[in-house]
Amino acid sequence: MKGTPDTPDEELILVVIIGISGSLITFLMLDILGGTRLPSQFRNILISLRNAWLIVVTLLFIYGIYTYRKLS
């Protein structure tokens, strides 16, 4: 299939890139939440988005470790 990783190495690189960008987005969201006075409704939406994103990044990290161990 076109657009999918051909080798496990490419898949691992993709997982690492997504994990790093996920960490950066999480830190940006924490900065936004900590540094500004937002309406409480918008703030609650951002907090739940951040929590969902943290779960996704954690699962990707675990999957990356699993893939790496499977390769070696």
- How many independent structural domains does the chain possess? 1
User: Rounded CA gap, 59 and 18, in Å?
Assistant: 11
Which pLDDT does position 7 carry in this prediction? 66
**8-64 tens-digit pLDDT:** 677 777 777 777 777 777 777 766 666 667 677 877 887 788 788 788 878 877 887
Q: Where do runs of H (alpha helix) occur along 1-72?
A: 8-35, 40-71
Residue 67 lies in a domain: yes
Q: Is the pLDDT of residue 2 over 60?
A: no
Residue 27 lies in a domain: yes
pLDDT bin (cut points 50, 70, 90) of residue 5 is low
Which pLDDT does position 6 carry in this prediction? 61
Residue 16 lies in a domain: yes
Which pLDDT does position 1 carry in this prediction? 46
Domain that holds residue 53: 10-71
